[in-house]
């Protein structure tokens, strides 16, 4: 195994690199796209989230925050997740918009009459084509090595900005309620 190390200077440079890339990319997001997605979250019905890999992990975090708001939220693939149906919303993320399991989930949701909201880098992707609301995150796709869009590895920028956008969504939705943090805290997991 190769030995790896890093100096304090390396860490400082890379903190700046990551922070700058996140800020630059977030500034390019169309707020109207995010607001349209928020409108779907504000409708009645359950919310389901589906994503693969690190994007899926970010959506799991978003699911938790939406649950804190009092929404009924399920994570696709969990053993207790019920069937999606008409009136529900599927929230998905795939940088490429071609991740097979995510696209298949969207196809299933569409056949069931559910609405679909997607985060992707690719507006021409199959996933974007299935979605009722699309938020384009202008980051490099994970196989887009050396493009100049990001110096980070394999889709990291997409996932980082996805987290930022889902947190901004939560903050905006919470801000439209009169619920204090103490009320949301009552819904926080207590079987930890």
Q: Residue 114, SS3?
A: coil
Residue whose C-alpha is closest to residue 169's, from 98, 88, 93, 84:
93
Active site residues: 159
Q: Residue 138, SS3?
A: coil
Q: Based on the number of CB atoms within 10 Å of its own CB, is 115 exposed (0-12), middle (13-18) or buried (19 or more)?
A: buried
Whether residue 59 contacts residue 191, with contact meaning beta carbons closer than 8 Å, is answered with no
Question: Cβ of 55: how many Cβ atoms within 10 Å?
Answer: 24
Whether residue 102 contacts residue 128, with contact meaning beta carbons closer than 8 Å, is answered with no
Q: What are phi and psi of 152, to 5 degrees?
A: -80, 165
């Amino acid at each position: 195994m190769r030995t790896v190390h890093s100096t304090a200077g390396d860490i400082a440079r890379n903190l700046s690199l990551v922070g700058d890339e996140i800020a630059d990319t977030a500034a390019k997001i169309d707020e109207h796209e995010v607001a349209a997605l928020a409108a779907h979250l504000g409708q009645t019905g359950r919310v389901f989230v589906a994503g693969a890999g690190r994007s899926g992990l970010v959506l799991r975090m978003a699911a938790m925050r939406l649950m804190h708001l009092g929404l009924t939220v399920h994570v696709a693939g969990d053993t207790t997740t019920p069937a999606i149906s008409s009136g529900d919303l599927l929230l998905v993320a795939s940088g490429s918009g071609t991740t097979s399991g995510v696209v298949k989930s969207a196809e299933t949701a569409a056949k069931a009459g559910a609405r679909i909201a997607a985060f992707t880098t690719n507006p021409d992707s199959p996933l974007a084509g299935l979605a009722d609301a699309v938020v384009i995150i202008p980051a490099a796709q994970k196989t887009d090595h050396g493009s100049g869009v990001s110096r980070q590895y394999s889709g990291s920028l997409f996932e980082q900005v996805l987290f930022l956008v889902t947190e901004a969504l939560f903050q905006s939705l919470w801000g439209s309620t009169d619920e204090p943090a103490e009320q949301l805290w009552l819904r926080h997991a207590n079987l930890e």
